[in-house]
Structure 1
Amino acid sequence: MGSRTTSPATPEIPTLTQLARRVHAKADESRLRVNLKQLYILRELRDTGSLPQNSICIMMRTTANTVVAWLNELEAEGFVERVRDPDDRRKHNVALTRTGLDVLENAERYLFHVEEEVLSPLTPEERTQLRKLVAKALV
Structure 2
Amino acid sequence: MTRMTPFSSPLMLGFDTMEKTLERLAKSGDGYPPYNIEKLRDPDSEAVRLRITLAVAGFKESDLDITTEENQLVIRGRQEEDGEHEYLHRGIAARQFIRAFVLAEGMRVVTAELKNGLLAIDLDRPEPQRLVRKINISVKD
- Alignment TM-score, normalising by the size of structure 1: 0.25
Q: Which has the higher helix share?
A: 1
Rg larger for = 2
Identify, as 1 or 2, the structure richer in strand.
2
